[in-house]
Structure 1
Amino acid sequence: MSKLPSDAPVQASTQATYDAYDADRPLLMRCACGQDHAPSEHDAATRMQSQDELSNDFIEASLVKAIFPQDSVRRRFLKAVGANTARAAIASLLPVGALQAMAQDRGPLEKKELKIGFIAITCASPLIMADPLGFYRKEGLSVQLNKTAGWALIRDKILNKEYDATHFLSPMPLAISMGLGSNQAPMKVASIQNTNGQAITLHLKHKDKRDPKQWKGFKFAVPFEYSMHNFLLRYYLAEHGVNPDTDVQIRVTPPPEMVANLRAGNIDGFLGPDPFNQRAVYDEVGFIHILSKEIWDGHPCCAFGLPESFIKENPNTYAALYRAILTASYMASLPKDRSLIAKVIAPTQYLNQPEAVLEQVLTGKFADGLGNIRNVPDRANFDPMPWQSMAVWMLTQMKRWGYIKGDINYRQIAEQVFLITDAKKYMSQVGFKPPEGAYRRFKVMGKDFDPSRPEEYLQGFAIQKSAAA
C-alpha cells in the first residue's frame, strides 16, 4: 500500500467533518494521527476522541460553511489551502480555549428552541453572526432569528412573549422596566451589543452647512425615542445652541427607511445606526457629518436583553444563550476579523447589504461622501460591558428631555436593569478581561460625567425640556 502525504489524514478528517456538518448529521471523524489502524482499533480511537476536539471541529465546520456556503467553492478552498492551513486560520479567529472552559459550566436546558428579534443593522453583529457561525448550536440551542421592521414592534413582541430575547436599543430596557411609553415589565441588559457605530448623516445638498447653528428648521430622523441616537443628537444640537424641541424637527423613522427618506427630501439628515450612514454615501445621497464616537467615544448603542421572567424560568438556557452571544462578541471585538464578519452578516436573511458597505463600517476605512477616505478602526466596536454608569447617563437624558417626570433613584434602576455581575462572569470565559468596577466615568463632548452626581450633571445644561417649556 502506498503511503499518503503527511497532511492527507488531517485533510480527510477535516473534509469528513464538513461533509457531516453539511448533511446535518452527527460529526463522526476518522483518526487523524497519521498511523494505520485495524478497524477495531480505529473505532476505539474514535470513541476515545475528546469532546473538546469534537466541539472544535463543529465550530470550524460552521465557520467555513458560513464563509463558503456553496459546497463546490468550499471544497476548492480546502483543496487549495490544505486542512492544516485552514485549521490554523480558524484557530486564530476563535477563542477555542475559552470555549472549552465554558463547556464545563453547563446544566440541562429548560428551553432549547428560542425566538430572538433583531433589527437589520451592524449593531446586531454578535447576535446575528452567532447563528451562521454555529455558536447557538454549539450551546445546544435552536435559535430562530426574526428580522423585525422597527423598534416599537421589537418592544411589543418581547412584551407579548413572542420573542424570548431580543436586540434592544440600550435605553429601551430601562424605559420598559419603568413603564415609559409602554406597559411596565422588568427587562434586563445582559450585554452591550456594540459601542460607537452611529453617525450624523446629512443630505448632499447641505455640504456647505457644516455648522449646526445653520441647521435651524432642519428635519432629522432617529430610530426611536428611547435610543442613544435620539439622546446623542439632542445633546449635540444643544451643545451648539440649537434647541432640539423648538429649532428642528426630530422624527422617529425605522433605520431601513432612513436613506430612502433622505433621498426623497423628507428629511435633511439623520443620526442613525450603521450601515445606513455608509449606505447613504454608497448611494450618493448623503455624507457623514460626524461619527458618534466623536461625540462620545465608547458610547453604548445597542444591547442584548430579555425579560426578567425568562431568566428566572430558564436559568440554564439563559446561561447558554449568554455564552453564545459573548463568544460572538469576542470575535467581533477583534479588528482582524471584521472583513470576515461583513461577509457572514451580509446575506438577505440578515442585513441584506453589499459587503463593501459593511466592510467600510466594520473595518473603519471608509468614504465619507465629501471626497475623503477616512481610517477610524474603532468606528464600530463590540465591547459587551454593560457599565451601570452608562445607564445612569441615559436616565439623565430621559429626564432632561421630559421622558421621566419627577425624582428617580438612578443607581437603583441602573443596577436592576444592567447585569454587570453576570457580564463579568461570562466575559472572562470567552477571552475578555473584565474591568473593575461598575460606574466608569467618561466624557461626552469634552464634558465629564460623574455617575455619582447625576442631578448636578443634569442641572448643568443650559438647554433642556424645562427651559423650553
Structure 2
Amino acid sequence: MSNIFSPYDADRPLRLRCSCGRDHSEAEHAAEASSSSAIAELRQRTSTPDFESYSRQFIEATLVKALFPQDAVRRRFLRAVGKGTAMAAIASVLPMASLQAMAQEKSTLEKKDLKIGFIPITCATPLIMAHPLGFYEKQGLKVDLMKTAGWALVRDKMLSREYDASHFLSPMPLAISMGLGSNAAPMNVATIQNVNGQAITLAMKHKNNRDPKQWKGFKFAVPFDYSMHNMLLRYYLAEAGLNPDSDVQIRVVPPAEMVANLKAGNIDGFLGPDPFNQRAVFEEAGFIHMLTKDLWDGHPCCAFGTSTEFIQKYPNTFAALYRAVLTSAAMASEARNRELIAKAIAPAQYLNQPEVVLQQVLTGRFADGLGKIQNVPNRAGFDPMPWQSMAVWMLTQMQRWGYIKGDVNYRQIAEKVFLITDARKYMKELGQKVPEDSAYPKFRIMGKEFDPAKAAEYAKSFAIQKTA
C-alpha cells in the first residue's frame, strides 16, 4: 500500500481571505451563499401543507380502517359519502385534533446530544441533509455530524462508542456483528442510505479497452473490503472470467484519494462512490465505464445504522433518529429537490465538491468522460428499505470470497442486523408509503436471478470463487 498516493490537502483547499473579511476564499464564500439559499428553499418545501399533512393522513386512514376493518365495506362507505364528509362525521365524535397532537408527541429522549459519523460522499445525502434542514432538531436532537476520513475509522469509532450512530457501508454492520476484520459487536442497519450511485471508472489511457476480459493485471481501488463496491467489482470481473484474487489487484483506498491515485497512475480504475466517479471526469483523469445500476438496478450501497446496545439503551432517541433520517430520505428521493440538494451539500463542511459535479450525480444528467452526455435519472436513489434479502446476498458474496469461513445461517444474521420491521413501523408513523412485499424479495444481478430462499446453493454455484 506504500505506493498509494495520499494528498494531505485533497479535502483542505488553500485558503485566501475573502473580501467579506472571513477566513475563506471567494469561491468558498460563493459556495456557502449558494448552499444557504438552497437550504432556505428546501426548508420552505418541508413546510408545505403536503409535507406537514403526513401525520394527519396517517391518523385519518388509521381511524377509518379501525371503524371499518373490512376493505369492501370501507370502500363502499367512502364512495357513498365522500372522504371529506366521512372525516367530518368521524371528527364530530372523536377528538381528531387531540389524536393528531398525540401522534406528534415525542417520548422523552434518553440522550439528546449525538455524534453521527459520515464519509463525504453523495451516499450520505439523507444523513447530511437532515442537519441543515432541521430534521434532527425537530425530533429534539442536537446532532454533530462528524466528517470521517475512511471506513476503518468509522468502524473503530463506533466500536469505541465515540460515535452514537453512523453512515455505514451496508455490509459493514454484518461484518462487525460477525467479528470479521474487528472485534465482534452487534450492529444494526436501520435504513439503506442510498441505492445505485456508484460506477466503475477507468483511467483515460484505457478508453479503447472496454472489455473486462482484457483487464488481466489491472490495479483497482475499492473503499473497503466489506463494501458493495468490492462485492460488485469482484462479481463483474468473475463474470468476465477473471479471478479477482489472482488476475487483478484490488486495493483499499479512501474515496477522497481515488481520483488522485488514478491521476498518478497507481491504479487503472476504481469501483467507488460518487461524487468521485464524476469528479474523475471533471478533472479529465478518467471516464465512467459503467454505472453499477447496470449490474444490479436498485442495489444497496450505504446504510444508516448504530449498535444494538445503543438501540436498547436509548430506544426513544433511536426512534427520533429514525424519523429524522426517513424524513430526509423521502425529500432526497424526489427528483425536483436534487439540484437544490446538490447546492446544499457542496460546501466544505459537507462534501467539499463543485456543485456541477454533484448536480450531475444527483440529477443523472452527466458527462461520461468519453464525449457524451448521458441521461440516467435513477443513477442514484434513496430508497430506505433494508430488505433482508440484500443482506443475504452480501453474506453469500462474503462467503464466496473467503471473508466468511464455513456454513452461514443467512436468515438468522440478516434478521438480526437489517431492521426491516422497524423501518416499516416508523415509515407508517410518518405517513410514508411502505412496500408490503416480503422481507426477502428476489433480485437480478447481471441478468441472473438471486433467490434468497436458495442462498446456500447460490453461493456454491459460481465457477470462480475462493478455493483456499
TM-score > 0.5, shorter chain as reference: yes
Structure 1 residue 427 displacement after superposition: 1.6
Query: Structure 2 residue aligned with 1:69, among 36, 39, 49?
Result: 36
Q: Output the CA distance in 1 between the equivalents of 2:431 and 2:332.
A: 12
What letter is aligned with 1:445?
M
Does 424-433 or 130-139 show the bigger shift?
424-433
Distance 1:405-1:138 versus aligned 2 partners, 3 A rule? same
**RMSD (CA atoms):** 2.1
Deviation, structure 1 residue 429: 3.2
CA–CA distance in 1 between the matches of 2:419 and 2:397? 21
Q: Distance in 1 between matches of 2:392 and 2:375?
A: 32
CA distance in 1, matches of 2:411, 2:43: 47
What amino acid sits opposite 2:163 in the alignment? Y
Question: The residue matched to 2:131 in structure 1 has which SS?
Answer: coil
Write the distance in 1 (CA, Å) between the matches of 2:362 and 2:422: 27
Over residues 229-259 of structure 1, what are the superposed CA-to-partner deviations in whole Å (9 max), with x where a residue is unaligned?
A: 0000000000010110000000000000000
Residues 113-262 of structure 1 mapped to structure 2, 5 A cutoff:
113-262=113-262
Whether the aligned pair in 2 keeps the contact of 1:330 and 1:431 (CA below 8 Å) is no
Query: 1:439 matched to which residue of 2?
Result: 440
Residues in 2 aligned to 1:119 and 1:173: alpha-carbon distance in whole angstroms: 16
Q: How does 1:372-451 map to 2 (within 5 A)?
A: 372-436=372-436, 437-451=438-452
Distance in 2 (alpha carbons) for counterparts of 1:189 and 1:159: 15
Corresponding residue of 2:265: 265
Q: 1:379 to 1:93 in 2, by over 3 A?
A: farther
Aligned residue runs from structure 1 range 294-373, under 5 A? 294-373=294-373
Q: 1:129 to 1:88 in 2, by over 3 A?
A: closer
The 1:278/1:151 distance shift into structure 2, 3 A limit, reads same
Number of the residue aligned with 2:464: 463
> Given the two structures, how large is their TM-score scaled by the length of structure 2?
0.81
- Percent sequence identity over matched residues? 71
Q: CA deviation at 1:94?
A: 6.9
Distance in 1 of aligned mates of 2:44 and 2:116 = 32
Using the TM superposition, give the Cα deviation of residue 428 of structure 1 relative to its aligned residue in structure 2, in angstroms: 2.4
Distance 2:43 2:157 in 1: 41
Q: Secondary structure at the match of 2:444?
A: strand
Structure with more contact order per residue of length (Cα contacts < 8 Å, sep ≥ 6): 2
Task: Give the superposition deviation at 1:323.
Answer: 0.4
- 8 A Cα contact 1:196 1:379, kept in partner: yes
* Counterpart AA for 2:171: P
**Contact 2:43/2:133 (8 A) holds in 1:** no
After TM superposition, the structure 1 = structure 2 runs for residues 50-65 of structure 1, keeping only pairs within 5 Å, are: none
Equivalent-residue separation in structure 1 for 2:393 and 2:33 (angstroms): 38
Partner secondary structure for residue 304 of structure 2: strand
SS at match of 1:448: strand
Q: Provide closer, same or farther for how the CA distance between residues 241 and 162 of structure 1 changes in structure 2, counting only shifts above 3 A.
A: same
Secondary structure at 2:114's aligned position in 1?
Answer: strand
The alpha-carbon deviation at position 343 of structure 1 amounts to: 1.0
C-alpha contact (below 8 Å) 2:190/2:322 kept by paired residues: yes
Structure 2 runs not aligned, ≥5 long: 1-31, 57-99
Q: Give the drift of 1:69.
A: 2.9
Contact 1:93 1:337 in 2 (8 A): no
Q: CA deviation at 1:425?
A: 1.0
Quote how far apart the aligned CAs of 1:377 are. Answer: 0.4
Measured in 2, the distance between the counterparts of 1:448 and 1:408 equals: 20
How far apart in 2 are the matches of 1:234 and 1:402?
A: 12
Deviation digits for residues 92-144 of structure 1, max 9, x if unmatched? 69722226669625200000000000000000000001001110011110000
SS in 2 for 1:189: strand
Please say if residues 35 and 347 of structure 2, whose CA atoms lie closer than 8 Å, have aligned partners that are also in contact.
no
Secondary structure of 1:284's match? coil
Instruction: Please list the CA deviations of residues 358-387 of structure 1 after superposition, one character each: whole Å capped at 9, or x if unmatched.
Output: 000000000000111000001000000000
Determine if contact 1:130/1:328 at 8 Å carries over to the other structure.
yes
Closer/same/farther in 2, CA of residues 99 and 360 from structure 1, 3 Å limit:
farther
Moved more, 424-433 or 311-320: 424-433
CA offsets per residue over residues 303-329 of structure 1, 9 Å max, x none? 000000101111110000000000000
Deviation at 1:455, TM superposition (A): 1.1
Q: Is the 8 A contact 2:193 2:302 kept in 1?
A: yes
